[in-house]
Amino acid sequence: MKFSENRTIAFIVLAACVLVSIFGLGGMGLSRERNRVLTVYDRGTDASLSTRHSMDAYLDSAAESAQLMVSEAQLHMSASATIDNVDSLAETVAKSDDTNERYEAYSSLKTAVDKLYNSMYEAAKGDDFTNFKVAYDDFWGYDDMIRHDDYSKLAAGYNSLISGFPGGVVAGITGQSALNTFGG
């Protein structure tokens, strides 16, 4: 029996080659792409700028602005759950090494910061709370940078890649999940 004469064996070999290329090589490709996106998260994309120009640094700066708002609010308001909530969320955003945990805390922090601003505005009627307003504006400035950072676009592209076929199947088998885009 010759190999070239047996169509069943030829079909099995072809199917094995296809499966190895899709699942074996495809899984490594997805893993490389995920690592590339996470490197952009840590380091940014422009090597001529300092490492402070990255998604990681923008999140740190947004958390720092939120903590400044907490400090100012404590001067003008009595203790409140809103102040404690912003302080706790900002702490999580600043200190956590887990990207998913930072994402969840940051998403909640945006709403909490607005609630704190409204509470502060009501409590500080007639008082000068310029420093609070500056920190608030800085927070939303960093939010704009976060939404427009290259990481967000790359993470959305990666998520699109693993949402279709065969990327979704390969991602499921290799245990790769979608990346958080931080609102981008």
Per the prediction, the chain carries an average pLDDT of 82
Count of domains observed in the chain = 2
- 40 and 122: one domain? no
Q: How high is the pLDDT of residue 18?
A: 65
What would the two tokens of residue 127 be?
């008082």
Would residue 104 count as lying in a domain? Answer: yes
The answer as to whether 67 is a domain residue is yes
Instruction: Examine the domain organization and report whether 60 and 106 are in the same domain.
Output: yes
20-70 pLDDT, tens digit per residue, is: 665 555 566 777 888 888 888 777 776 555 545 678 888 999 999 999 999
* Residue 181 domain flag: no
CA 165 from chain centre, in angstroms, equals 24
> 65: buried, middle or exposed (CB in 10 Å: 19+, 13-18, 0-12)?
buried
Cα dihedral: 6, 11, 16, 22 (round 10)? 160
Question: Is 180 within the bounds of a domain?
Answer: no
**Per-residue pLDDT, 105:** 95
Phi, psi of 176 (to 5 degrees): -95, 135
Is residue 39 in a domain?
yes
Q: 179 lies in a domain?
A: no
Q: Is the same domain home to 38 and 99?
A: no
Say yes or no: 73 and 143 in one domain: yes
Instruction: Give the domain extent around 128.
Output: 56-148
CA 129 to chain centre: 31
CA 155 to chain centre: 8
SS3 content of the chain, % helix, strand, coil (to 5): 80, 0, 20
Is 120 inside a domain boundary?
yes
Per-residue model confidence (pLDDT) at position 12:
78
Tokens found for residue 164 = 């279709």
Q: State how far the Cα of 119 lies from the Cα of 113, in Å rounded to an integer.
A: 10
Is the pLDDT confidence value at 80 over 70?
A: yes
| Average pLDDT score over residue span 119-129 | 80
* pLDDT recorded at residue 22: 59
Q: Specify whether 162 is located in the same domain as 104.
A: no
